[in-house]
Structures are given as structure tokens and as C-alpha cells.
Structure 1
Amino acid sequence: MKELLRTTDPVKIALATALLEGEGITAFQLDVHMSILEGSLGILPRRLMVAQRDLFLARAILSDNGIGPE
């Protein structure tokens, strides 16, 4: 698994996941439950991971839709 996106914006993560799933790319979110430790302040970023073989295409899909790293 390779990191595709790291952000504190849950809407950006949801949009990126939907775009990737629409193209048949499986994405996995890490650090989703860290809000318990941070007190739901949204200061700890979530990571979106994809398989190594899908990384190039996934980056292109996000870039074409205006989603990039923070």
C-alpha cells in the first residue's frame, strides 16, 4: 500500500474515495479513528492508501479532479 493523499478534510477524503471506487481502484483510509485521541478537533490528518500498481492512475484521477496534496 502506498500513500496517495494525506489531509484533515474528511470531505476531500470522501470525494477522493468515491472517484477512485468509480474507476475500480480500491482505496483504504488510515487514521480514521484517531479522533478519539484528538478529541474530534480535526488536527490529525487521515491518509488514503492504494495498492502500488494503482498509484499512478489514482494520482492522475485525483489531479484531473482538482484534488491534490495539502
Structure 2
Amino acid sequence: MIEIVRSSDLVLIGFLQSLLENANIPVLVADSHMSALEGMIGAFPRRILVPDDRAAQARRLIREAGHGAELRHE
């Protein structure tokens, strides 16, 4: 698995998760339990991880959706 996005924006994380899942790309949202423990104040961003072999496709979809600035560096 490779991290492609890290954000405290729950709406963005939900949107990207849905976008990738609709394209049949497996998605793991990491650190969601940490975010809940810290009271959702945004101190611990959530991370979107995808399989290494699907990362290029996931990055392309995110760019096409207008959120390329959110991508982590390759």
C-alpha cells in the first residue's frame, strides 16, 4: 500500500474514498481511529492508501477530479 493523500478535511477524504472505490480501486483510510481519539480537532490527518500497482490510476483519477494539489509526492 502507498499513501497518496493526507488531509484533515473529512469531506475531501470521504469524496476521494468514494471516487476511488467507484473505480474499483481498493482504499484504506488510515488513522481514522487516531482522529476520533483526539476529538476531531484535526491534529492527526487521515491518510488514503491504495495498492502500489493501482497508485498511478488513483492519482490520475484524483487529478481529473480537480484535487491534484492534494496528492502526496511520488
> Normalising by structure 2, what TM-score?
0.86
> Under a length normalisation based on structure 1, what TM-score does the superposition of the two structures give?
0.90
Displaced runs of 4 or more, over 3 A? none
> What is aligned with 2:15?
15
Quote the sequence identity (%). 35
User: Is 1:24 aligned to residue 53 of structure 2?
Assistant: no
Unaligned regions of 5+ residues in structure 1, if any? none
* Aligned residue type for 2:42: G
Q: Residues 1-70 of structure 1 correspond to what in structure 2 (within 5 A)? A: 1-34=1-34, 35-36=36-37, 38-68=38-68, 69=70
Distance in 1, matches of 2:61 and 2:47, equals: 17
Deviation at 1:67, TM superposition (A): 1.6
Q: Read off the aligned partner of 1:17 and give its amino acid letter.
A: Q
Given that residues 12 and 67 in structure 1 are in contact (C-alpha distance below 8 angstroms), is that contact kept between their aligned partners in structure 2?
no
Aligned residues: 69
Alpha-carbon RMSD across the aligned residues, in angstroms, is 1.3
